Structure 1
């Protein structure tokens, strides 16, 4: 009986390992799932309000849109609709991981409290110290992050 259970568990593990990467490997999300069955991105902050107004306004589950298997919350129906029309203009760079971390080949949490909308793109950072390091060379950090993101996008954070 134990052998059959072990064999079944190993078979399930092999199937899961062979399945495509989950969004959590390519997007920084909070633990757990939203009511729409997808993980929450940008810590629940409305990305449209962030990009357009520079405000960290908390979204609500009443206004949820899913992009690339990640749920985003919005403060209003209007913001949700804007996002649906052009999500690429609002999703955080580097899957929402810390841009400075990505510039050095890591996937650290991107905290919306430490963020910058630069040249129309939203970048998030691990903490204030890292954010200040980014501010010293925004273009350099972003260029390195862009190059590294192509290499690490589908790699689990724990494997970097």
Structure 2
């Protein structure tokens, strides 16, 4: 099925509005991803949608490092682990084993897609450096600028993203 470009264009318009310091509320209704749209990332053929490129989750970043090191660290192929149909990379065997023992404790919310994007029902790619941990859960965002917007009302965005993620997973 051919991807629809409208959600991507609307997202880019919204992002430009945020970066320019203007309101993006007028375009939010056009920014929803329809059920048949395909995100730019690979979707695993499992019950969970995971942000992956070339089969590698979250741009190859070590998900455990956000919790243990307090920053994103690139993973290495020698410490790879398969989960939910994609490959997760880690910076050490210890991190790989921590993840393997309880993947849901370390995996980012919303399959690693942008948390702010999910609050509007959109599957949007991420930048590993745009992250936060809230209540023991990892959230990734599209960019540092968008992360600033996310942090303005995180609780509300999480509530909306949770609803959208649940709806997406049940389709």
- Same-fold call, TM > 0.5? yes
State the aligned residue count. Answer: 128
**Cα contact 1:25–1:154 (8 A) shared by 2:** no
SS of equivalent to 1:123: strand
TM-score normalised to the size of structure 2?
Answer: 0.70
- Shift of the alpha carbon at 1:23? 4.9
- Segments of 5+ residues of structure 1 without an aligned counterpart are 1-20, 33-38, 156-160
**Cα contact 2:47–2:169 (8 A) shared by 1:** no
- Segments of 5+ residues of structure 2 without an aligned counterpart are 1-43
Relative to 1, partners in 2 of residues 1:77 and 1:49: Cα closer, same or farther, differing over 3 Å?
A: same
User: Cα deviations across residues 30-84 of structure 1 (Å, max 9, x unaligned)?
Assistant: 1x2xxxxxx1111111111112221211110000111111211111111111111
Q: Name which of 30, 48, 51 aligns with 2:64.
A: 48
Question: Which aligned pairs between 1:7-156 and structure 2 lie closer than 5 A?
Answer: 22-23=45-46, 26-30=49-53, 32=54, 39-153=55-169
What is the CA–CA distance in structure 1 between the aligned matches of 2:86 and 2:102, rounded to whole Å? 15
User: Cα deviations across residues 126-153 of structure 1 (Å, max 9, x unaligned)?
Assistant: 1122111110111111111011001123
The structure with more helix, counted as a fraction of residues: 1
What is the CA–CA distance in structure 1 between the aligned matches of 2:114 and 2:47, rounded to whole Å? 14
> What's the C-alpha RMSD, in Å, of the aligned pairs?
1.8
Deviating beyond 3 angstroms after TM superposition, the runs of 4 or more aligned structure 1 residues are none
**Cα contact 1:27–1:41 (8 A) shared by 2:** yes
TM-score normalised to the size of structure 1?
Answer: 0.75
- Shift of the alpha carbon at 1:119? 1.2
**Cα contact 2:48–2:84 (8 A) shared by 1:** no
What is the CA–CA distance in structure 2 between the aligned matches of 1:80 and 1:25, rounded to whole Å? 20
